[in-house]
Chain A
């Protein structure tokens, strides 16, 4: 699976939108873009995923660049509970065993 690059950390104010960027310039045409987050002392939690089109769900929105070399996870109104490490992961369609390869992620800090 291709590699992703994310900032080590970001800060946000509570109730403001947060845009978490991810670069994946070597993405292949069949790679899905997945986002997970890990709250303190918990296991990773699925957030959202997409292939080409932007996606929305109850947790977040995923904006995918037209060339698919980057994507942005959007939290519309950050809460203190959103403080976590956010992982952007590429999963190939031929990924053996459906496993996910985690990078360093972005640590999001939310200020009250």
Chain B
């Protein structure tokens, strides 16, 4: 049973398109995150949601709109895709007030042509 699962694993699309990446966790955690890993391999936090409420938004363009329909899901919708959006996007989850262990998904590789 995969703890944090993301779909799709690979996504190739044209500039200007709109796409979504879905994330689900079955760990019962109350907090979920989106991280972006660019071509230089740096992992950067994008968003954090606690109990469906946004708690961190790290200066991400408003073309990125996360949506959390419930505690177990955090989806990432990206409008008007740009070349610079090409990256691997990782979803993660944790319990907010614990020792801080985050569980990550396997990543979704987005390629914008």
Contact = CB atoms under 8 A, between A and B. Distances in A.
A11 interface: no
Contact of A101 (B45, B90, B107): B45
Nearest to B103: A46
A33 to B, nearest CB: 11
Given A44-B90, A102-B43, A32 B55 contact: no
B25 interface: no
A40 B107 CA distance: 11
A98 B107 contact: no
B56 interface: yes
A43 B92 contact: yes
A85 B95 CA distance: 25
Contact of B100 (A38, A44, A95): A95
B75 interface: no
Given A43-B90, A44-B43, A44-B90, A99 B104 contact: no
B109 to A, nearest CB: 9
Interface string B96-113: 111111111111000000
B86 interface: no
Interface in A17-42: 32, 34, 36, 38, 41-42
Contacts of A98: 31, 48, 94-98, 100, 102
